[in-house]
């Protein structure tokens, strides 16, 4: 009977906990936190609407040419880049918590997706978006956003620099109008460029280089201008922000005139783009590559375990962008990850490639004065208009113009200043950055960032295992005193290192010398360290050298004395500069 009652009692406690958890999840506060639109929509007004429309259209003028360009980087048909920028605006409207962020294709995500597309088919890019979305969503629900904090700045900088170099090198073929494939890796792209240099096309080359010059010029045109300046500066500001659209339009006009005048396409063009909206359908869980059918398990196997880097990089980009534009306000990383996961999952039903937050378009959104995530709706509507009305015009987009656009965008991804800064401040981190770049360029971006994180973790472990222990010698009337100053933290991996340093000091010391282990700075140690400190006393005193432990925290002293209470008299609290008093105490303890 007692067993039955205990079981019923346990079941009752479980039911209460489940009920409480369900109540918390379904509470109004939780729903508002998970669906942020509920909080800001009741306050929405016509003024906010106008500002969001202006910002949305401004971002759309950049999102369209960038979407097409990044689809080219990924090896996908151009319309896939527009599809990727389409669903993000609608989904993020409901679940996004940062007004400035725009979700869509990015250069890094496109570069990482390219290997699956070139090796297999476009269906792999869509499936990668679907699977990445679920991974990001799961990590958000489980509050695992802190994992990105384990990626240090040198690794991030090395990764983005390598990505920029890889993407830019892959565009050299198109920039100069060469024949042959661009390549999936930096070395392969450079090699293909050199092999096909004989097919150099003067018209493509001139257009590509002029595109880069115009983009750099238009960027400088907007310096010192903002949306609230007088009309002339407002025009300069708007033209500068829409410079990507400007160069693409110029390229279209040039290509159309050349074809009309000469009757042939002497420039390499994007060509046919699928018109209309994407068909809403299930992500491709089966595809045909060549004459071979790949089922879902085959596709997952082909994506491989390295594809897990895709969602991690997506999270990294999004969280970094959110922090950059939060203005010091706290970031709900969990909510942002949930929003991004849903953007990728739902986007995959509309043929989207993997997406994340775009730094360029987010900066543009912020500069345009966006007020709410509703700005993304108007960007999406502009993309819908382009898909419905302008695809025949997009046929004339020169590949050289897109290549120039992409290469120019890569300039801003390279952090040139960090090299000089690390050279002056931390050679170790500089080596880490260079190593990350080299591995990314030689083996692939996903291997490079993993290698960078692993090397960084090993360096961190090494620093924990070899913390700075300062050994100094002070003169006293009765001989020398060796002071060993401990760091703030000593973990188990540093226990043997500390023991060796103390024994080394005792070997170098003269007979009847005194070793003082100064714990003034020590804030934390574990039982392995405490055990070694207690055991080393006997080894030191065999050599006729006394040892004392000075200014240890009460809790740390207790940890040691519990291990060996006979050495409690070895712990003192005194001023280290008063050596003579400490020696006197040492003599008393010896007696």
Task: State pLDDT tens for residues 234-258.
Answer: 888 888 878 888 888 999 999 999 8
Residue 2 has pLDDT above 70, yes or no: no
Residue 198 has pLDDT above 80, yes or no: yes
Q: Summarize pLDDT for 114-155 with one digit per residue, the tens.
A: 888 887 888 999 999 999 999 999 988 888 777 777 778 888
- The pLDDT assigned to 19 comes to 54
Q: 226-230, 252-256, 383-387, 418-422: which has the minimum mean pLDDT? A: 226-230
Summarize the confidence of residues 396-409 as an average pLDDT: 88
465 Cβ contact partners less than 8 Å away, ≥ 6 residues apart: 491, 493, 494, 497
Using the Cα atoms of residue 409, residue 146, residue 155 and residue 328 in order, give the sign of their dihedral: positive
Give the tokens for residue 419.
Answer: 């090299």
Class of domain 470-590: alpha beta
Give the bridge partners for 373, in sequence order.
none
Q: Summarize pLDDT for 148-195 with one digit per residue, the tens.
A: 777 788 888 888 888 888 888 888 888 898 888 777 778 888 888 898
Contact by Cβ (8 Å): 379, 355? no
Q: Summarize pLDDT for 316-331 with one digit per residue, the tens.
A: 888 878 876 776 667 7
Residues listed for the chain: 591
- The pLDDT assigned to 21 comes to 46
- The pLDDT assigned to 585 comes to 56
Q: Percentage of the chain with pLDDT > 90? A: 13
Query: Residue 576: which pLDDT band, with cuts at 50, 70 and 90?
Result: low
Complete DSSP assignment for 104-169: E--HHHHHHHHHHHHHT-HHHHHHHHHHHHHHHHHHHHTT-GGGGGGS-HHHHHHHHHHHHHHHHH
Q: Summarize pLDDT for 65-87 with one digit per residue, the tens.
A: 888 889 988 889 989 999 998 88
> 307, 282, 287: which is closest to 297 by C-alpha?
287
Pairing of strands 356-357, 479-485: unpaired
b/e 407-429 (16+ beta carbons within 10 angstroms → b): bbbbeebbbeebeeebeeeeeeb
Summarize the confidence of residues 472-500 as an average pLDDT: 82
- The pLDDT assigned to 148 comes to 72
Contact by Cβ (8 Å): 139, 310? no
- The whole-angstrom distance between residue 155's C-alpha and the CA centroid of its chain comes to 9
Summarize the confidence of residues 367-387 as an average pLDDT: 87
- The pLDDT assigned to 351 comes to 92
Residue 367 has pLDDT above 80, yes or no: no
> 349, 270, 359: which is closest to 321 by C-alpha?
359
Q: 17-31, 264-278, 516-530: which has the minimum mean pLDDT? A: 17-31
Mean pLDDT of the chain: 83
Contact by Cβ (8 Å): 255, 203? no
Summarize the confidence of residues 334-357 as an average pLDDT: 92
Summarize the confidence of residues 226-235 as an average pLDDT: 79
Summarize the confidence of residues 509-523 as an average pLDDT: 83
Complete DSSP assignment for 222-273: TTT--TTS-HHHHHHHHHHHTHHHHHHHHHHHHHHHHHHHHSS--S-B----
Query: Residue 579: which pLDDT band, with cuts at 50, 70 and 90?
Result: low
d(CA 64, CA 105) in angstroms, rounded, equals 11
Residue 59 has pLDDT above 50, yes or no: yes
Q: Percentage of the chain with pLDDT > 70? A: 90
Residue 81 half-sphere exposure toward CB, CA atoms < 13 A: 30
pTM of the complete model: 0.75
Query: Residue 338: which pLDDT band, with cuts at 50, 70 and 90?
Result: very high
300 Cβ contact partners less than 8 Å away, ≥ 6 residues apart: 131
Contact by Cβ (8 Å): 373, 92? yes
Counting beta carbons within 10 angstroms of the beta carbon of residue 305, is it exposed (0 to 12), middle (13 to 18) or buried (19 or more)?
Answer: exposed
């Amino acid at each position: 009977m007692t067993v039955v009652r205990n079981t019923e009692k346990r079941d009752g406690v479980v039911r209460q906990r489940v009920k409480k958890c369900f109540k918390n999840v379904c509470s109004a506060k939780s729903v508002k936190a998970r669906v942020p639109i509920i909080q800001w929509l009741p306050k929405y007004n016509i003024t906010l609407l106008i500002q969001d429309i202006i910002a949305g259209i401004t971002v759309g003028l950049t999102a369209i040419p960038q979407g097409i360009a990044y689809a080219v980087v990924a090896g996908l048909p151009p319309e896939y880049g527009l599809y990727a920028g389409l669903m993000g605006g609608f989904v993020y409207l409901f679940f996004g918590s940062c007004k400035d962020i725009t979700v869509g294709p990015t250069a890094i995500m496109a570069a990482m997706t390219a290997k699956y597309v070139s090796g297999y088919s476009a269906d792999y890019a869509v499936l990668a978006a679907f699977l990445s979305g679920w991974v990001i969503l799961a990590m958000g629900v489980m509050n695992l956003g802190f994992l990105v904090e384990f990626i240090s700045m040198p690794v991030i900088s090395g990764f983005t620099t390598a990505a920029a170099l890889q993407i830019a090198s892959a565009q050299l073929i198109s920039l100069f109008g060469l024949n042959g494939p661009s390549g999936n890796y930096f070395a392969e792209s450079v090699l293909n460029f050199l092999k096909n240099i004989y097919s150099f096309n003067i018209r493509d080359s001139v257009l590509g280089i002029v595109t880069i010059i115009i983009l750099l010029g238009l960027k400088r045109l907007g310096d010192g201008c903002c949306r609230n300046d007088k009309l002339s500066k407002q025009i300069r500001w708007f033209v500068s922000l829409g410079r990507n659209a400007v160069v693409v339009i110029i390229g279209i006009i040039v290509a159309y005139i050349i074809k009309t005048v000469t009757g042939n396409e002497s420039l390499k063009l994007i060509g046919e783009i699928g018109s209309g909206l994407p068909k809403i359908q299930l992500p491709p869980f089966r595809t045909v590559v060549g004459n071979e059918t790949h089922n879902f398990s085959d596709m997952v196997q082909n994506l491989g375990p390295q594809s897990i880097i895709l969602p991690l990089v997506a999270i990294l980009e999004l969280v970094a962008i959110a922090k950059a534009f939060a203005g010091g306000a706290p970031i709900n990383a969990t909510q942002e990850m949930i929003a991004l996961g849903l953007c990728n999952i739902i986007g995959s039903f509309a043929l989207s490639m993997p997406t994340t937050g775009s730094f360029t378009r987010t900066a543009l959104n912020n500069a345009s004065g966006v007020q709410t995530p509703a700005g993304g709706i108007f960007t999406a509507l502009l993309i819908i208009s382009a898909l419905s009305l302008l695809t025949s015009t997009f046929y004339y987009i020169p590949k050289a113009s897109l290549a120039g656009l992409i290469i120019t965008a890569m300039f801003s991804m390279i952090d040139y200043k960090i090299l000089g800064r690390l050279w002056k401040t931390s050679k170790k981190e500089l080596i880490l950055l260079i190593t990350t770049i080299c591995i990314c360029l030689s083996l692939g971006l996903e291997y490079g960032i993993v290698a960078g994180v692993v090397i960084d973790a090993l360096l961190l472990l090494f620093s924990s295992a070899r913390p700075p222990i300062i050994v100094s010698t002070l003169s006293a009337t009765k001989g020398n005193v060796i002071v060993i100053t401990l760091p703030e933290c000593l973990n188990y991996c540093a226990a043997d290192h500390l023991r060796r340093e103390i024994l080394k000091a005792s070997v170098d010391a003269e007979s009847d010398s005194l070793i003082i282990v100064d714990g003034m700075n020590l804030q934390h140690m574990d039982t392995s360290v405490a055990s070694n400190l207690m055991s080393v006393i006997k080894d030191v005193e065999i050599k006729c050298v006394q040892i004392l432990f000075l200014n240890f925290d009460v809790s740390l002293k207790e940890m040691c004395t519990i291990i060996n209470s006979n050495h409690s008299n070895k712990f003192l609290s005194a001023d280290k500069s008063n050596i003579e008093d400490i020696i006197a105490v040492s003599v008393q303890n010896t007696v």
